[in-house]
Amino acid sequence: MIDVLLCGVATCKQVACINDNVADEYIQVALREAQDMRLKRVIGTALFDKLKGLIIDKTIDNPENAAYKELIEKARFFLAYTAMADVCVKTSFKVSNLGVVQTGDDNVRAASMTDVQTVKNAFQNKADFYCKELQRYILKHRAALPEISDGDCADMRAHLFDAATCGIFLGGPRGKICR
């Protein structure tokens, strides 16, 4: 399938107040990862593919696709903040022949890893908020989005009150004994 970004670089820079000097390539890679690794899990593969297909076919603006267009609008904030959380690390550290490096400049001081992580967490918290809003929107407008299965809805309902990202493995499914 053709590579489609549901959120643009300009939207990320505007929504998240990112400096215009940040290379678009970093943001594009982060957006692609946000779509493929996070959004697809939130909305399901069938709906994800439908949204991309409507953009490829240039039919997203048709009146019968209004619910899908609104869904993309809701998803843009989630994608932008998720991508920006990733860009914090991508722009702070580079992988080179020397390993992981941090470049310096006479006029700019590089942030510590703790500071980078603090900014990343701030972006991630905003992404988590918009993830919850996106899930609520999908559940409320399920009739207009036939690609959403009963299983997708059950997964969304189960995660509405714990949609926040957590860096600690909390033991897997609640109430289940893993053996």
* Residue position matching structure tokens 């701030």: 122
pLDDT one-digit tens code per residue, 139-166: 888 889 888 888 777 777 776 665 556 5
> What residues make up the domain containing 80?
9-159
| 3: in domain | no
More confident residue, 98 or 51: 51
* CA–CA distance, 144 with 154 (Å, rounded to integer): 17
| 2: in domain | no
pLDDT one-digit tens code per residue, 23-76: 899 899 999 999 999 999 888 889 999 999 999 999 999 999 999 999 999 999
| 175: in domain | no
Q: For 1-5, 42-46, 93-97, 158-162, which range has the lowest pLDDT when averaged over its residues?
A: 158-162
Exposed / middle / buried, residue 58 (Cβ in 10 Å: 0-12, 13-18, 19+): exposed
End-to-end CA distance of the chain: 39
Both tokens assigned to 109: 């001081």
| 17: in domain | yes
* pTM over the 0.95 mark: no
| 94: in domain | yes
As a 3-state breakdown, the chain gives helix, strand, coil percent values, each rounded to 5, of: 60, 5, 35
| 97: in domain | yes
Q: What is the count of structural domains for the chain?
A: 1
| 1: in domain | no
| 176: in domain | no
* CA–CA distance, 157 with 30 (Å, rounded to integer): 27
* CA–CA distance, 55 with 58 (Å, rounded to integer): 5
